[in-house]
Structure 1
Protein backbone atom coordinates (compact mmCIF):
# COMPACT_ATOMS: atom_id res chain seq x y z
CA UNK A 1 0.00 0.00 0.00
CA UNK A 2 1.33 3.48 -0.78
CA UNK A 3 2.85 5.27 2.19
CA UNK A 4 3.28 2.15 4.30
CA UNK A 5 6.38 0.00 4.22
CA UNK A 6 7.21 -3.45 5.58
CA UNK A 7 9.15 -3.62 8.83
CA UNK A 8 12.35 -5.53 8.02
CA UNK A 9 14.12 -4.10 11.07
CA UNK A 10 15.16 -7.49 12.34
CA UNK A 11 17.15 -8.61 9.30
CA UNK A 12 18.88 -5.23 9.08
CA UNK A 13 19.70 -5.10 12.77
CA UNK A 14 20.59 -8.78 12.94
CA UNK A 15 23.02 -8.38 10.07
CA UNK A 16 24.96 -5.81 12.08
CA UNK A 17 24.96 -8.12 15.11
CA UNK A 18 26.38 -11.15 13.31
CA UNK A 19 23.13 -12.89 12.41
CA UNK A 20 21.96 -13.70 8.90
CA UNK A 21 18.50 -13.63 7.38
CA UNK A 22 17.17 -16.04 4.80
CA UNK A 23 14.03 -15.02 2.93
CA UNK A 24 11.52 -17.80 2.27
CA UNK A 25 8.63 -16.54 0.12
CA UNK A 26 5.24 -17.89 -0.92
CA UNK A 27 6.26 -17.52 -4.57
CA UNK A 28 8.16 -19.97 -6.76
CA UNK A 29 11.27 -19.66 -8.88
CA UNK A 30 13.55 -18.16 -6.26
CA UNK A 31 17.00 -19.53 -5.53
CA UNK A 32 18.11 -20.63 -2.09
CA UNK A 33 21.19 -18.86 -0.74
CA UNK A 34 24.19 -20.95 0.25
CA UNK A 35 25.55 -20.37 3.77
CA UNK A 36 28.93 -18.64 3.91
CA UNK A 37 32.08 -20.43 4.99
CA UNK A 38 33.35 -19.82 8.50
CA UNK A 39 31.61 -19.61 11.89
CA UNK A 40 27.88 -20.14 11.66
CA UNK A 41 25.83 -17.07 12.66
CA UNK A 42 22.22 -17.39 13.76
CA UNK A 43 19.89 -17.84 10.80
CA UNK A 44 16.49 -16.19 10.49
CA UNK A 45 13.72 -17.35 8.20
CA UNK A 46 12.13 -14.11 7.04
CA UNK A 47 8.75 -14.53 5.40
CA UNK A 48 7.72 -11.87 2.92
CA UNK A 49 4.63 -11.66 0.74
CA UNK A 50 4.49 -11.98 -3.04
CA UNK A 51 6.91 -9.59 -4.76
CA UNK A 52 5.54 -6.86 -7.00
CA UNK A 53 5.56 -7.74 -10.72
CA UNK A 54 8.99 -7.18 -12.20
CA UNK A 55 10.74 -6.99 -8.83
CA UNK A 56 13.74 -9.26 -8.45
CA UNK A 57 13.50 -11.76 -5.61
CA UNK A 58 15.93 -13.90 -3.68
CA UNK A 59 15.60 -16.57 -1.07
CA UNK A 60 13.64 -19.78 -1.26
CA UNK A 61 9.96 -20.55 -1.64
CA UNK A 62 8.08 -21.04 1.63
CA UNK A 63 7.11 -24.54 0.57
CA UNK A 64 10.83 -25.37 0.41
CA UNK A 65 11.79 -23.74 3.72
CA UNK A 66 13.05 -26.18 6.35
CA UNK A 67 12.68 -24.96 9.90
CA UNK A 68 15.77 -26.95 10.89
CA UNK A 69 17.84 -24.57 8.77
CA UNK A 70 16.94 -21.58 10.98
CA UNK A 71 17.27 -20.48 14.58
CA UNK A 72 14.29 -18.11 14.43
CA UNK A 73 11.44 -17.07 12.16
CA UNK A 74 10.51 -13.42 11.54
CA UNK A 75 7.46 -12.10 9.68
CA UNK A 76 7.73 -8.39 8.75
CA UNK A 77 4.67 -6.20 8.44
CA UNK A 78 3.10 -4.09 5.74
CA UNK A 79 -0.27 -4.86 4.17
CA UNK A 80 1.22 -7.73 2.14
CA UNK A 81 0.49 -10.45 4.71
CA UNK A 82 -3.22 -9.55 4.53
CA UNK A 83 -3.19 -10.17 0.78
CA UNK A 84 -1.33 -13.47 0.59
CA UNK A 85 0.14 -14.93 3.79
CA UNK A 86 -3.24 -14.90 5.55
CA UNK A 87 -4.34 -17.58 3.08
CA UNK A 88 -1.05 -19.35 2.33
CA UNK A 89 -0.95 -22.97 3.52
CA UNK A 90 2.85 -23.15 3.33
CA UNK A 91 3.17 -20.07 5.50
CA UNK A 92 0.61 -21.50 7.92
CA UNK A 93 2.62 -24.71 8.24
CA UNK A 94 5.85 -22.78 8.86
CA UNK A 95 4.15 -20.78 11.63
CA UNK A 96 2.64 -23.88 13.27
CA UNK A 97 5.95 -25.73 13.09
CA UNK A 98 7.90 -22.75 14.43
CA UNK A 99 5.53 -22.35 17.36
CA UNK A 100 5.72 -26.06 18.21
CA UNK A 101 9.51 -26.13 17.89
CA UNK A 102 10.07 -23.64 20.68
CA UNK A 103 12.30 -21.55 18.41
CA UNK A 104 11.73 -17.81 18.57
CA UNK A 105 8.92 -16.68 16.27
CA UNK A 106 8.57 -12.93 15.71
CA UNK A 107 5.62 -11.26 13.97
CA UNK A 108 5.18 -7.48 13.64
CA UNK A 109 2.64 -4.89 12.48
CA UNK A 110 0.21 -6.43 9.92
CA UNK A 111 2.04 -9.77 9.86
CA UNK A 112 -0.21 -11.37 12.52
CA UNK A 113 -2.65 -11.66 9.61
CA UNK A 114 -0.51 -14.64 8.57
CA UNK A 115 -1.71 -16.46 11.70
CA UNK A 116 -5.11 -16.84 10.00
CA UNK A 117 -3.56 -19.52 7.77
CA UNK A 118 -2.82 -21.68 10.83
CA UNK A 119 -6.46 -22.70 11.36
CA UNK A 120 -7.28 -26.37 10.95
CA UNK A 121 -10.42 -27.80 9.33
CA UNK A 122 -12.39 -27.03 12.51
CA UNK A 123 -11.20 -23.41 12.53
CA UNK A 124 -8.91 -23.96 15.52
CA UNK A 125 -5.46 -22.38 15.63
CA UNK A 126 -2.53 -23.41 17.85
CA UNK A 127 -2.10 -19.69 18.57
CA UNK A 128 -5.39 -19.63 20.52
CA UNK A 129 -4.70 -18.47 24.07
CA UNK A 130 -1.44 -16.73 23.19
CA UNK A 131 -0.98 -13.07 24.06
CA UNK A 132 -0.20 -10.99 20.95
CA UNK A 133 -0.28 -7.50 19.52
CA UNK A 134 -0.35 -6.11 16.00
CA UNK A 135 -1.44 -3.15 13.89
CA UNK A 136 -4.65 -1.88 15.47
CA UNK A 137 -7.96 -0.77 14.02
CA UNK A 138 -7.25 2.70 15.42
CA UNK A 139 -3.97 2.88 13.52
CA UNK A 140 -5.67 1.68 10.35
CA UNK A 141 -8.27 4.45 10.81
CA UNK A 142 -5.53 7.00 11.42
CA UNK A 143 -3.86 6.27 8.07
CA UNK A 144 -7.24 6.42 6.32
CA UNK A 145 -7.25 2.83 5.10
CA UNK A 146 -9.77 1.16 7.42
CA UNK A 147 -12.73 2.01 5.20
CA UNK A 148 -10.87 0.76 2.10
CA UNK A 149 -9.74 -2.57 3.54
CA UNK A 150 -11.65 -5.77 2.84
CA UNK A 151 -11.11 -6.72 6.48
CA UNK A 152 -9.15 -5.44 9.46
CA UNK A 153 -6.29 -7.48 10.86
CA UNK A 154 -7.11 -6.82 14.52
CA UNK A 155 -10.73 -7.96 14.10
CA UNK A 156 -9.87 -11.19 12.28
CA UNK A 157 -6.92 -12.20 14.44
CA UNK A 158 -9.01 -11.87 17.59
CA UNK A 159 -11.31 -14.56 16.17
CA UNK A 160 -8.45 -17.05 16.57
CA UNK A 161 -8.92 -16.87 20.33
CA UNK A 162 -5.73 -14.90 20.98
CA UNK A 163 -5.45 -12.35 23.78
CA UNK A 164 -4.89 -9.16 21.77
CA UNK A 165 -3.52 -6.09 23.54
CA UNK A 166 -2.06 -2.80 22.33
CA UNK A 167 -0.37 0.39 23.38
CA UNK A 168 -1.00 3.97 22.20
CA UNK A 169 -1.08 4.31 18.42
CA UNK A 170 2.30 4.76 16.71
CA UNK A 171 4.20 4.04 19.94
CA UNK A 172 6.50 1.03 20.34
CA UNK A 173 4.67 -1.87 21.98
CA UNK A 174 5.76 -5.50 22.11
CA UNK A 175 4.36 -8.65 23.67
CA UNK A 176 6.32 -11.81 24.44
CA UNK A 177 4.44 -15.01 25.24
CA UNK A 178 6.55 -18.14 25.42
CA UNK A 179 8.45 -18.31 22.11
CA UNK A 180 6.08 -15.90 20.31
CA UNK A 181 7.28 -12.30 19.92
CA UNK A 182 4.88 -9.71 18.48
CA UNK A 183 5.13 -5.98 17.77
CA UNK A 184 2.26 -3.56 17.25
CA UNK A 185 3.45 -1.25 14.47
CA UNK A 186 6.52 -0.08 12.51
CA UNK A 187 7.85 1.72 15.60
CA UNK A 188 7.83 -1.65 17.39
CA UNK A 189 10.05 -3.44 14.86
CA UNK A 190 13.33 -2.28 16.42
CA UNK A 191 12.36 -3.08 20.03
CA UNK A 192 10.99 -6.44 18.86
CA UNK A 193 14.32 -7.20 17.17
CA UNK A 194 16.12 -6.40 20.42
CA UNK A 195 13.86 -8.79 22.35
CA UNK A 196 14.49 -11.54 19.85
CA UNK A 197 18.24 -11.01 19.75
CA UNK A 198 18.42 -11.40 23.52
CA UNK A 199 17.56 -15.08 23.18
CA UNK A 200 19.82 -15.66 20.17
CA UNK A 201 23.07 -14.25 21.49
Structure 2
Protein backbone atom coordinates (compact mmCIF):
# COMPACT_ATOMS: atom_id res chain seq x y z
CA UNK A 1 0.00 0.00 0.00
CA UNK A 2 1.24 3.46 -0.92
CA UNK A 3 0.53 6.74 0.82
CA UNK A 4 -0.69 9.53 -1.45
CA UNK A 5 -0.74 13.19 -0.48
CA UNK A 6 -3.64 15.28 -1.76
CA UNK A 7 -2.77 18.99 -1.68
CA UNK A 8 -6.08 20.87 -1.77
CA UNK A 9 -6.82 24.57 -1.96
CA UNK A 10 -7.80 26.25 1.29
CA UNK A 11 -9.47 29.18 -0.44
CA UNK A 12 -13.24 29.62 -0.63
CA UNK A 13 -13.06 32.41 -3.22
CA UNK A 14 -11.28 33.59 -6.35
CA UNK A 15 -10.56 37.32 -6.71
CA UNK A 16 -11.59 38.56 -10.15
CA UNK A 17 -10.10 41.41 -12.16
CA UNK A 18 -12.58 43.93 -10.75
CA UNK A 19 -11.75 42.93 -7.16
CA UNK A 20 -14.94 40.98 -6.51
CA UNK A 21 -14.75 37.56 -4.89
CA UNK A 22 -16.22 34.66 -6.80
CA UNK A 23 -17.21 31.83 -4.40
CA UNK A 24 -15.24 28.68 -5.20
CA UNK A 25 -12.99 26.04 -3.64
CA UNK A 26 -12.01 22.62 -4.96
CA UNK A 27 -13.93 20.95 -7.78
CA UNK A 28 -15.71 17.87 -6.44
CA UNK A 29 -15.08 15.45 -9.31
CA UNK A 30 -11.39 16.32 -9.37
CA UNK A 31 -11.00 15.22 -5.76
CA UNK A 32 -13.53 12.41 -5.48
CA UNK A 33 -12.87 10.55 -8.76
CA UNK A 34 -9.11 10.19 -8.12
CA UNK A 35 -9.76 9.46 -4.44
CA UNK A 36 -11.98 6.56 -5.43
CA UNK A 37 -9.39 5.25 -7.92
CA UNK A 38 -6.63 5.34 -5.31
CA UNK A 39 -8.69 3.85 -2.49
CA UNK A 40 -9.99 1.02 -4.67
CA UNK A 41 -6.38 0.20 -5.48
CA UNK A 42 -5.72 -0.13 -1.75
CA UNK A 43 -3.79 3.08 -1.15
CA UNK A 44 -3.96 5.54 1.72
CA UNK A 45 -4.88 9.17 1.08
CA UNK A 46 -3.91 12.12 3.28
CA UNK A 47 -5.28 15.61 2.56
CA UNK A 48 -3.21 18.72 3.25
CA UNK A 49 -4.29 22.34 2.94
CA UNK A 50 -2.60 25.66 3.73
CA UNK A 51 -2.99 26.13 7.46
CA UNK A 52 -4.87 22.85 7.76
CA UNK A 53 -8.19 24.55 7.03
CA UNK A 54 -11.08 22.30 6.02
CA UNK A 55 -11.37 22.81 2.25
CA UNK A 56 -14.50 24.25 0.66
CA UNK A 57 -16.15 22.42 -2.21
CA UNK A 58 -17.18 24.64 -5.12
CA UNK A 59 -20.98 24.57 -5.03
CA UNK A 60 -21.04 24.68 -8.81
CA UNK A 61 -19.29 21.32 -8.97
CA UNK A 62 -22.27 19.74 -7.20
CA UNK A 63 -24.80 21.07 -9.73
CA UNK A 64 -26.77 18.54 -11.82
CA UNK A 65 -25.47 19.97 -15.10
CA UNK A 66 -21.90 19.06 -14.11
CA UNK A 67 -22.80 15.59 -12.86
CA UNK A 68 -25.04 14.18 -15.59
CA UNK A 69 -28.21 14.78 -13.62
CA UNK A 70 -29.58 15.26 -10.14
CA UNK A 71 -29.07 11.68 -8.99
CA UNK A 72 -25.34 11.78 -9.71
CA UNK A 73 -25.10 15.29 -8.23
CA UNK A 74 -26.64 14.02 -4.99
CA UNK A 75 -24.21 11.10 -5.01
CA UNK A 76 -21.27 13.45 -5.50
CA UNK A 77 -22.41 15.74 -2.69
CA UNK A 78 -22.78 12.75 -0.38
CA UNK A 79 -19.29 11.52 -1.30
CA UNK A 80 -17.77 14.91 -0.45
CA UNK A 81 -19.69 15.14 2.84
CA UNK A 82 -18.67 11.62 3.87
CA UNK A 83 -14.98 11.99 3.03
CA UNK A 84 -13.13 11.83 6.34
CA UNK A 85 -9.80 12.90 4.83
CA UNK A 86 -11.24 16.12 3.38
CA UNK A 87 -12.87 16.83 6.74
CA UNK A 88 -9.60 16.51 8.68
CA UNK A 89 -6.67 17.84 6.64
CA UNK A 90 -3.13 18.19 7.92
CA UNK A 91 -1.22 21.45 7.64
CA UNK A 92 0.61 21.78 4.35
CA UNK A 93 3.39 23.65 6.14
CA UNK A 94 4.12 20.60 8.31
CA UNK A 95 4.14 17.96 5.56
CA UNK A 96 7.26 15.80 5.25
CA UNK A 97 7.39 14.64 1.65
CA UNK A 98 9.46 11.62 2.70
CA UNK A 99 6.30 10.18 4.32
CA UNK A 100 4.56 9.85 0.94
CA UNK A 101 4.86 7.86 -2.25
CA UNK A 102 2.96 10.19 -4.61
CA UNK A 103 1.41 13.66 -4.66
CA UNK A 104 -1.85 14.76 -6.27
CA UNK A 105 -3.37 18.24 -6.68
CA UNK A 106 -7.10 18.54 -7.51
CA UNK A 107 -8.30 21.76 -9.10
CA UNK A 108 -11.19 24.17 -8.96
CA UNK A 109 -10.67 27.92 -9.13
CA UNK A 110 -9.39 27.92 -5.53
CA UNK A 111 -5.75 27.13 -6.44
CA UNK A 112 -5.72 30.27 -8.61
CA UNK A 113 -6.16 32.24 -5.38
CA UNK A 114 -3.89 30.56 -2.86
CA UNK A 115 -1.67 27.77 -4.23
CA UNK A 116 -0.46 29.93 -7.12
CA UNK A 117 1.45 32.06 -4.59
CA UNK A 118 2.01 29.56 -1.77
CA UNK A 119 5.73 29.11 -1.12
CA UNK A 120 5.29 25.90 0.91
CA UNK A 121 3.33 24.31 -1.92
CA UNK A 122 5.86 25.56 -4.45
CA UNK A 123 8.74 24.05 -2.50
CA UNK A 124 6.90 20.75 -2.10
CA UNK A 125 6.19 20.60 -5.83
CA UNK A 126 9.83 21.31 -6.64
CA UNK A 127 11.03 18.57 -4.30
CA UNK A 128 8.50 16.06 -5.64
CA UNK A 129 9.42 16.84 -9.23
CA UNK A 130 13.15 16.60 -8.60
CA UNK A 131 12.82 13.36 -6.61
CA UNK A 132 11.10 11.48 -9.42
CA UNK A 133 8.06 10.86 -7.23
CA UNK A 134 4.78 10.38 -9.16
CA UNK A 135 3.11 13.80 -9.25
CA UNK A 136 -0.40 14.42 -10.56
CA UNK A 137 -2.01 17.84 -11.11
CA UNK A 138 -5.36 18.50 -12.77
CA UNK A 139 -7.40 21.35 -14.31
CA UNK A 140 -6.78 24.67 -12.47
CA UNK A 141 -4.37 23.11 -9.98
CA UNK A 142 -1.39 23.67 -12.32
CA UNK A 143 -1.68 27.25 -11.03
CA UNK A 144 0.36 25.88 -8.11
CA UNK A 145 3.27 25.38 -10.51
CA UNK A 146 3.64 29.15 -10.66
CA UNK A 147 4.95 29.14 -7.07
CA UNK A 148 7.55 26.45 -7.82
CA UNK A 149 10.55 28.73 -8.20
CA UNK A 150 14.12 27.47 -8.32
CA UNK A 151 17.09 29.17 -6.66
CA UNK A 152 18.01 30.85 -9.93
CA UNK A 153 14.53 32.36 -10.22
CA UNK A 154 13.35 30.06 -12.99
CA UNK A 155 10.29 27.86 -12.76
CA UNK A 156 10.85 24.23 -11.76
CA UNK A 157 8.38 23.07 -14.42
CA UNK A 158 9.89 25.10 -17.28
CA UNK A 159 10.32 22.85 -20.30
CA UNK A 160 7.77 20.29 -19.13
CA UNK A 161 4.77 19.38 -21.28
CA UNK A 162 1.55 19.78 -19.31
CA UNK A 163 -2.21 19.76 -19.67
CA UNK A 164 -4.16 22.47 -17.84
CA UNK A 165 -7.48 24.28 -18.03
CA UNK A 166 -7.33 26.22 -21.27
CA UNK A 167 -8.22 29.75 -22.31
CA UNK A 168 -10.94 28.31 -24.55
CA UNK A 169 -12.50 26.42 -21.64
CA UNK A 170 -12.29 29.48 -19.38
CA UNK A 171 -14.08 31.49 -22.07
CA UNK A 172 -16.78 28.85 -22.44
CA UNK A 173 -17.17 28.77 -18.66
CA UNK A 174 -17.81 32.52 -18.74
CA UNK A 175 -14.76 33.67 -16.78
CA UNK A 176 -12.13 34.55 -19.37
CA UNK A 177 -13.19 38.20 -19.53
CA UNK A 178 -13.55 38.44 -15.74
CA UNK A 179 -10.32 36.79 -14.60
CA UNK A 180 -7.34 38.82 -13.43
CA UNK A 181 -5.18 36.35 -15.36
CA UNK A 182 -5.59 33.16 -17.35
CA UNK A 183 -3.91 29.92 -16.36
CA UNK A 184 -2.77 28.87 -19.83
CA UNK A 185 -1.15 32.26 -20.39
CA UNK A 186 0.69 32.35 -17.06
CA UNK A 187 2.03 28.82 -17.43
CA UNK A 188 3.27 29.63 -20.92
CA UNK A 189 4.95 32.80 -19.66
CA UNK A 190 6.75 30.66 -17.05
CA UNK A 191 8.25 28.50 -19.81
CA UNK A 192 5.86 25.57 -19.33
CA UNK A 193 4.58 23.89 -22.49
CA UNK A 194 0.77 23.72 -22.32
CA UNK A 195 -0.48 21.03 -24.70
CA UNK A 196 -4.09 21.88 -25.53
CA UNK A 197 -6.74 19.22 -26.08
CA UNK A 198 -10.38 19.50 -27.08
CA UNK A 199 -12.46 21.56 -24.63
CA UNK A 200 -14.03 19.45 -21.85
CA UNK A 201 -12.75 16.15 -23.26
CA UNK A 202 -10.35 13.95 -21.24
CA UNK A 203 -6.78 15.01 -21.98
CA UNK A 204 -3.83 13.69 -19.95
CA UNK A 205 -0.15 14.43 -20.53
CA UNK A 206 2.68 12.37 -19.03
CA UNK A 207 6.15 13.93 -18.96
CA UNK A 208 8.67 12.03 -16.87
CA UNK A 209 7.18 11.69 -13.35
CA UNK A 210 4.63 14.45 -13.96
CA UNK A 211 1.05 13.54 -14.94
CA UNK A 212 -1.33 16.41 -15.72
CA UNK A 213 -4.95 16.67 -16.83
CA UNK A 214 -6.80 19.45 -18.62
CA UNK A 215 -10.25 19.46 -17.00
CA UNK A 216 -12.65 17.60 -14.68
CA UNK A 217 -13.17 14.82 -17.23
CA UNK A 218 -9.41 14.16 -17.07
CA UNK A 219 -9.44 13.45 -13.33
CA UNK A 220 -10.08 9.70 -13.33
CA UNK A 221 -7.83 8.98 -16.36
CA UNK A 222 -5.06 11.00 -14.67
CA UNK A 223 -5.45 8.96 -11.48
CA UNK A 224 -5.15 5.74 -13.46
CA UNK A 225 -1.99 7.03 -15.15
CA UNK A 226 -0.57 8.04 -11.77
CA UNK A 227 -1.23 4.55 -10.44
CA UNK A 228 0.83 3.14 -13.29
CA UNK A 229 3.71 5.36 -12.14
CA UNK A 230 3.31 4.07 -8.59
CA UNK A 231 3.32 0.46 -9.72
TM-score by length of 2: 0.72
Gaps of 5+ in 1: 31-49
Q: Partners of 2:207 and 2:45 in 1: how far apart?
A: 23
Q: Partners of 2:35 and 2:131 in 1: how far apart?
A: 21
Structure 1 residues 198 and 122: CA distance shift in structure 2, 3 A: closer
Partner of 2:14: none
Question: Could you report, residue by residue, the CA deviation over 1:5-52 in whole angstroms, capped at 9, with x for unpaired residues?
Answer: 241122221111101111111124x6xxxxxxxxxxxxxxxxxxx734
Partner of 1:36: none
Question: Could you report, residue by residue, the CA deviation over 1:103-123 in whole angstroms, capped at 9, with x for unpaired residues?
Answer: 001000000000010124654
The structural deviation recorded for 1:4 is 8.1
RMSD: 2.2
Q: Partners of 1:129 and 1:135 in 2: how far apart?
A: 18
Question: Could you report, residue by residue, the CA deviation over 1:135-192 in whole angstroms, capped at 9, with x for unpaired residues?
Answer: 0000000010111111111110111111111111000001000000000000001110
Gaps of 5+ in 2: 1-22, 57-80
Residue 27 of structure 2 is aligned to residue 5 of structure 1:
yes
Residue 194 of structure 2 is aligned to residue 149 of structure 1:
no
1:29-68 equivalent positions in 2, closer than 5 A: 51-52=55-56, 57-68=87-98
Report the 3-state secondary structure (helix = DSSP H, G, I; strand = E; otherwise coil) of the residue aligned with 2:51.
coil
The count of corresponding residues between Structure 1 and Structure 2 is: 180
Residue 169 of structure 2 is aligned to residue 167 of structure 1:
no
TM-score by length of 1: 0.83
